[in-house]
Amino acid sequence: MTLTTRMRRATVPAVLAAGALVLAGCSGAGGGGGSGDGGDGPVELTLATVNNPQMKDMEELKGEFEESHPDITVNFVQMEENDLRDAVTKDIATGGGQYDIVTIGSYEVPIWAENEWLADLTEPLSSDAEYDVDDLFAPVKDVVSVDDSLYAVPFYGESSMLMYNKEILDEAGITMSENPTWDEVAEAAREVNSDDVTGICLRGKPGWGELFAPLTTVVQTFGGTWFDEDWNAHVNDPEFTEAVQFYVDLVEDAGPADPVSTGFTECLNTMTQGKAAMWVDATVAAGMLEDPEASEVAGKMGYAHAPVKETEESGWLWSWNLAVPETTQNQDEAIEFIKWATSKEYHQLVGEELGWTRVPPGARQSTYEIPEYVEAAESFAPITQDIMLAVNPTQPGLYEQSWTGVQYVTIPEFQDLGNQVSQDLSDVFSGRSELGPVLDRGQELAQEAGDAQ
């Protein structure tokens, strides 16, 4: 963190407190978000981002941008996912104006765009032929657009897939197909599950993103949904119930022994140490499983589409995007930087400077045509691309949706709803409650959220 950011962070609360003392409602006091005062002088941009490896790479390479734009400097403020969400939401909702560029998930983009919190990027991006907006992955572009206007640009994107340890499955004489069904996968998991090896690692840790990212894709492929087109909740429907029951049973028979403390990181650990046979999770995980320095199973992994039941595909769709809040005073410069960080040149730069497996995945189709990238990521890149292009964010399940998005519902209440239901489900995992009453309560909560739409 740079000195200026730290100072600014300390100043804002102080200024706000002082402002509150003098007169209430002086909300612009801490604003500014940089030293750009509208003049032609040098501009300092503040970028709030999640502390994922791809973002750290971006910070490492920002010097290249600053060299070609001598009037602009970019300061990075990196936070953990939840902290970022809190900090940025508070800043924008209260008109703080601390950040010139923000990293936001695909769940937030439509909600924030509707609140008129984000600058419309359609014109500035499409007017630049070299930037090539049409090269962005179409499904990802869909989830960050509202009424055909682009409010954010994907920095990297992901879907979900089945990752399996070929050695373990081979030993049991099981061959996994390219497009497996959940029944096949469950059968295989139960077969290979033993005291030493977990059949299939599935998350059970409470939290709307942690548990419901994978579980909602199962619900959707079983034909269930959180809401129908008219915002009627369907949480205790037979399809929803069947899907969750299937998931809980599978975890009990062949899943992690302590599901309530198992999330993405825990599954990654078990998998890299060869202690689990299969795992359904984010496509980004593949890069880590194939890293010979951190993983014992590098080169031994097989990849397949996310398992399905009633639908053709059941991968999710998530992207981390760059967006420009309306509160910034340096909109043009911020857009300049966003264009650079999501351009084809940037992907080349990452590959040449830092290594080809570190190129941000799932954002641009042309990335998958770079020969060096294709070679470096041959085991997982083609399937990742296939899945990302195959998922349908406008209708991932059997129900028609009035929102765009796969494993979440883009309404403000969803993170709260998902969080509460996921906590109740932990009692089902441990056998303290029955599934029926838990989903009945979920239905009530969901209907309340649906009524608010």
Partner 1 sequence: MTTGRRSLAISRALLWPALIVAILLTQIPLVATLFYSFQEWNLLRPGQRGFVGFDNYAKVLSDGSFLSSLGNTVLVTGSAVVGATVLGLLFALLLDRKFLGQSVARTLMITPFLVMPAAAALIWKWSILDFTYGMANWGLSLVGLPPVAWNTEMPAATVIMVLIWQFTPFAMLILLAGLQSQPREVLEAAGVDGAGPFRTFTWITLPHLRQYVEITVLLATILLLQVFDPVAIMTKGTGGSKTLSYLLYERAFIGLEVGEAAAYGVMTVIVTIAVAMVALRTLFKVFSEEGLMNR
**In the complex, which residues of this chain contact partner 1 (CB under 8 A)?**
17, 20-21, 82, 86, 89-90, 93, 111-112, 115, 204-208, 256-261, 270, 275, 412-413, 415-416, 419, 423, 426-427, 429-430, 432
Nearer to partner 1, 173 or 431 (CB): 431
Identity of the residue numbered 220 = Q
Nearer to partner 1, 6 or 90 (CB): 90
CA dist list (Å): 413 to 148, 182, 266, 400, 437: 24, 30, 28, 20, 21
Q: Which long-range contacts (CB under 8 A, 24 or more apart) does 175-182 make?
A: 176/302, 176/304, 177/304, 178/304, 178/305, 179/304, 179/305, 179/308, 180/304, 180/305, 180/307, 180/308, 181/307, 181/308, 181/309, 182/218, 182/221, 182/222, 182/246, 182/307, 182/308, 182/309
Nearer to partner 1, 315 or 418 (CB): 418
- Sheet architecture: strand order including 301-305: 198-201, 276-282, 160-165, 301-305
Nearer to partner 1, 304 or 449 (CB): 449
Residue 394 CA to residue 142 CA, distance in Å, equals 8
Nearer to partner 1, 124 or 325 (CB): 325
Q: Smallest distance from the beta carbon of 422 to partner 1, in angstroms?
A: 8
Q: Smallest distance from the beta carbon of 208 to partner 1, in angstroms?
A: 8
Structure tokens given for 88: 């940025």
Nearer to partner 1, 7 or 257 (CB): 257
Residue 303 CA to residue 163 CA, distance in Å, equals 5
Residue 139 CB coordination number (10 Å)? 26
Nearer to partner 1, 39 or 431 (CB): 431
Nearer to partner 1, 112 or 380 (CB): 112
Q: Smallest distance from the beta carbon of 100 to partner 1, in angstroms?
A: 20
Q: Smallest distance from the beta carbon of 162 to partner 1, in angstroms?
A: 22
Residues forming beta bridges with residue 321, ordered by sequence position: 104, 154
Task: List strand residue ranges (DSSP E) for 306-377, in order.
Answer: 318-323
Query: How big is the chain, counted in residues?
Result: 453
- Which residue's structure tokens are 């894709």? 217
Nearer to partner 1, 201 or 341 (CB): 201
CA dist list (Å): 311 to 89, 94, 206, 217: 35, 42, 26, 10
Contact in structure between 324 and 334 (CB atoms under 8 Å): yes
Q: Smallest distance from the beta carbon of 418 to partner 1, in angstroms?
A: 9
Q: Smallest distance from the beta carbon of 10 to partner 1, in angstroms?
A: 17
Contact in structure between 334 and 100 (CB atoms under 8 Å): yes
Q: Smallest distance from the beta carbon of 202 to partner 1, in angstroms?
A: 13
Q: Smallest distance from the beta carbon of 374 to partner 1, in angstroms?
A: 37
Nearest CA to 214 among 259, 178, 252, 160? 160
Residues forming beta bridges with residue 280, ordered by sequence position: 162
Structure tokens given for 444: 């009530």
Q: Smallest distance from the beta carbon of 140 to partner 1, in angstroms?
A: 22
Nearer to partner 1, 57 or 210 (CB): 210
For the chain, what is the radius of gyration of the CA atoms? 23
Nearest CA to 179 among 279, 315, 289, 66? 315
Q: Smallest distance from the beta carbon of 147 to partner 1, in angstroms?
A: 18
Nearer to partner 1, 31 or 207 (CB): 207
Q: Smallest distance from the beta carbon of 406 to partner 1, in angstroms?
A: 20
Structure tokens given for 364: 């641009």
Q: Smallest distance from the beta carbon of 451 to partner 1, in angstroms?
A: 13
Nearer to partner 1, 258 or 345 (CB): 258
